[in-house]
Amino acid sequence: MQLPRGRFHRLIKSTTTRVLIEEMASARFTGICTIVPGEKSAVLVLNEGLVVLAEYGGIRGQHALDAVSNDESEAAAELNLLTPEQVQLAREFNQPCAIDAGDAGIYQIKRLADLGIDALVLDAARRSAATGTVARIEG
């Protein structure tokens, strides 16, 4: 991914990707999280705790987020803060890595709810882009 230079925030050692994602969601982290869970590295860009871009071992978007989220091995991570303007710039330059609203966004909010994280989905559209219906996801 082509990403703006963020401001160093911190290093995290001896954790798992799932714990990292939960922690960043609850802290409403905005920035870049580079995770090294093994031989491959993953890059997640978050906006207020939600993953908006993902790349992992040559995989991009929702498939990359799924793959790295399911990796239970010990990982280390580097967190760098981004401004809202930098996040928008990253999204514009890395559209193939986007976690879209539609079905993928609904899936992401469901996963957060399954992890016990309170989250709210806001969409500018009057209806869900993928199905044209509104569904309530318990959680």
**pLDDT tens string 55-68:** 998 899 989 998 88
pLDDT given for residue 37 in this prediction: 82
SS3 91: helix
Question: In whole angstroms, what is the distance from residue 52 CA to residue 103 CA?
Answer: 14
* pLDDT score, position 117: 76
pLDDT digits (tens, 9 = 90+) for 26-75: 999 999 999 998 788 999 999 999 999 999 988 999 899 988 888 888 99
Structure tokens at 82: 């981004």
Confidence of residue 18 (pLDDT cuts 50, 70, 90): confident
